Amino acid sequence: MDFIGAYAPAHLKFLLEGFAVTLEVAFISILFSFAIGIVIGVLRYSRIPFVSHILAIGVETIRNLPLLLIIFFTYFALPEVGFKLDKFYAAILALVIFESAMLSEIVRSGLNSIEKGQIEAARSSGLTYTQTLWHIVLPQALRRMVPPIVGQFISLLKDTSLAVVIALPELMNHAQIINGRNVNYVIPIFLLVAIMYFIVNYSLSLISRRLEHKHL
């Protein structure tokens, strides 16, 4: 093991550049997958004829596919039908597709957890279905969904490492490049990579706990 050589300033800078890409991909994917997941979850909860069934089929299909396969599909298969994406956007698209399906189930479960009595009371007071959903059901459900949603965000951040298979210049890709220069760097570099992932993910878990206690 060569900690001194592994942690040379040039290597640390290279790892931080990769980590910046990881965080950027994760942040963009979180924004889009959260928005899409809420829409899909609400539509499935509303049980709109035909629409709910189509969405259910799509969600269950995606949830039962490995993310790695979806990454391969967005980067290697889409160009075959005329949609060529850069590695960066292919990774984001794959993550958004996969995480939207996962988050939509969290949203749907959260909405279903709200007592039917509240919905009936709101409707009997003159609120429309949309108003009841927007003002009564969704705000309460979102508070209950904070822990699982943040947990899914943590999984998303870790899942960005799978984009190494398409050579996205993210943290794991840069770590492998450094390790390829000297086998004595493997343990020090992977140890540092683990610490970097841990710091961000543990920070997210602390935020989740604080939000959960705040709304108790």
What does the pLDDT profile of the chain (216 residues) look like in tens digits?
888 899 999 999 999 999 999 999 999 999 999 999 999 999 999 888 889 999 999 999 999 999 999 999 999 999 998 899 999 999 999 999 999 999 999 999 988 888 888 877 877 887 887 888 888 888 888 888 888 898 899 999 999 999 999 999 999 999 999 999 888 999 999 999 999 999 999 998 888 787 766 655
- pLDDT on residue 47: 83
The per-residue pLDDT for 215 is: 54
- Give me the pLDDT at residue 135, please: 81
The confidence score (pLDDT) of residue 130 equals 81
Compute the distance between CA of residue 113 and CA of residue 163 in angstroms, rounded to an integer. Answer: 35
Minimal CA–CA distance to 179: which of 163, 164, 166? Answer: 164
Cα distance between residue 150 and residue 209, in whole Å: 10
128-132-133-134 Cα dihedral, nearest 10 degrees: 100
3-214 has CATH 2.60.40.2890 classification: no
Instruction: Say if residues 137 and 115 touch (Cβ distance below 8 Å).
Output: no
CA distance 160 to 145: 23
**Which of 141, 147, 143 has the alpha carbon at shortest distance from 208?**
147
pTM of the model: 0.90
Helix intervals (H) in 64-137: 67-72, 87-112, 116-124, 129-132
